[in-house]
Structure 1
Amino acid sequence: MALPVAASAEGPECVVLLHGLSRTDYSMKKLERELAESGYSVANTDYDSRHHSIEELADVAVESGIAQCEQHLVRKIHFTTHSLGGILVRHYLARKPIAKLGRVVMLAPPNQGSEVIDVFGNMPGFQMFSGEPALQLGTGSDSVPLTLPPAHEYELGIIAGTRSISPLFSLALPDRDDGKVSVESTKIDGMNDFIEVPYTHTFIMQRQEVIDQTLYFLRNGHFIHHNSDDSDSTLQPTL
């Protein structure tokens, strides 16, 4: 478990949580609790991920999280995202700076798009089930992630899953994957650190190892890896 965030006369640090496609803030509740127990203010932001475009959602979701953080007069605003949530943060930061921006952790982000959308996106009922933004997450000419700049302006850590419970979707993916996104597709130029964990896309944010690694990155700017000699390490993950 990560150590509590040190108190500061300048105010607390805040973490904005952004859930993934067709999910709600409930999916991030465990992460929310552990961040709060570690001393962070937390804005677990709920947004309607199914009925608006990525362009619209980026402003709504990110600005809602920032506003919740600012109610606590925070000194830093971090982000931890699942799946689509990471693309919303990237889209927002490509257009607008965040003055108190701290670190960003993305869990299973489709940073290079997902071939699942390419293969299954036009099937009857897919958009109804997955939501409007899903069709913007492919790898073709209408892919929003592929239009976004690299992450050179902020500290970014990415956690990718390697276990799938969606064998049909995995057939569409060219690499090791989490059932929705390939490991390679989570990566982005400019990221500060990257790890793989043996969990699925759907439940990666609820796994204790992932939560511990997220807390560690927010505090230190890097993850815990095998053979690390970091004296502050409180984790011994199996990655």
Structure 2
Amino acid sequence: MVMLSPPNQGREVADALKENPFYQWYNGPAGQPLGTDPDGFVAGLGPVDYPVGVITGNTHALFDAWFSEKISGDDDGKVSVGRAKVKGMSDFLVLPFSHPYLKH
């Protein structure tokens, strides 16, 4: 299995915007539990016990510049490089792309 820039350790942007009505509407119910709370949903997923590689980016697109300011360290405009990692992963690759362009 390969994951493309997953928020395996939560998203700092979700923390910053969780009370914002537009963020709540745009991301819907699935976007609300994606924060970095150590007792939150994402933290409860735990490590993987199957072969998985993670690919993430370290460049944000212009339209993600505001989000990128809310993220510590290198990021793809949506998820920080460090928070894409998951315990137990088999491989990890960082490419010079933004979040939406990793799929291409």
TM-score for both structures, normalised by structure 2 = 0.92
Which of 60, 69, 88 aligns to 1:171? It is: 69
Q: How does 1:40-189 map to 2 (within 5 A)?
A: 104-140=1-37, 143-151=40-48, 153-165=49-61, 166-189=64-87
Distance change >3 Å, CA 149–CA 141, structure 1 → 2 = closer
**Pair 1:194-2:88 in alignment:** no
Counterparts of 2:92 and 2:99 in 1: how far apart (Å)? 16
Counterparts of 2:86 and 2:73 in 1: how far apart (Å)? 16
Counterparts of 1:143 and 1:156 in 2: how far apart (Å)? 23
Q: Which has the larger Rg?
A: 1
1:57-95 CA-partner distances (Å, limit 9, x unpaired): xxxxxxxxxxxxxxxxxxxxxxxxxxxxxxxxxxxxxxx
TM-score for both structures, normalised by structure 1 = 0.41
The answer to whether the Cα contact below 8 Å between 1:113 and 1:138 also exists between their aligned partners in 2 is yes
Please state how far the C-alpha of 1:162 moved relative to its aligned partner: 0.8
Question: Which portions of structure 1, spanning 4 or more consecutive aligned residues, are displaced by more than 3 angstroms?
Answer: none
Please state how far the C-alpha of 1:121 moved relative to its aligned partner: 1.7
Q: Percent identity?
A: 39
Counterparts of 1:116 and 1:110 in 2: how far apart (Å)? 11
Please state how far the C-alpha of 1:130 moved relative to its aligned partner: 1.5
Counterparts of 1:114 and 1:140 in 2: how far apart (Å)? 9
The answer to whether the Cα contact below 8 Å between 1:137 and 1:145 also exists between their aligned partners in 2 is yes
Please state how far the C-alpha of 1:129 moved relative to its aligned partner: 1.0
SS class of match (1:159): strand
The answer to whether the Cα contact below 8 Å between 1:108 and 1:181 also exists between their aligned partners in 2 is yes
Structure 1 runs not aligned, ≥5 long: 1-103, 207-239
Please state how far the C-alpha of 1:144 moved relative to its aligned partner: 1.5
- Corresponding residue of 1:211: none
Counterparts of 2:95 and 2:103 in 1: how far apart (Å)? 11
Counterparts of 2:59 and 2:20 in 1: how far apart (Å)? 25
1:118-175 CA-partner distances (Å, limit 9, x unpaired): 0012112111111211111001256321111211x21010001111021110111111
Counterparts of 1:141 and 1:134 in 2: how far apart (Å)? 17
Counterparts of 1:195 and 1:141 in 2: how far apart (Å)? 25
Counterparts of 1:109 and 1:133 in 2: how far apart (Å)? 14
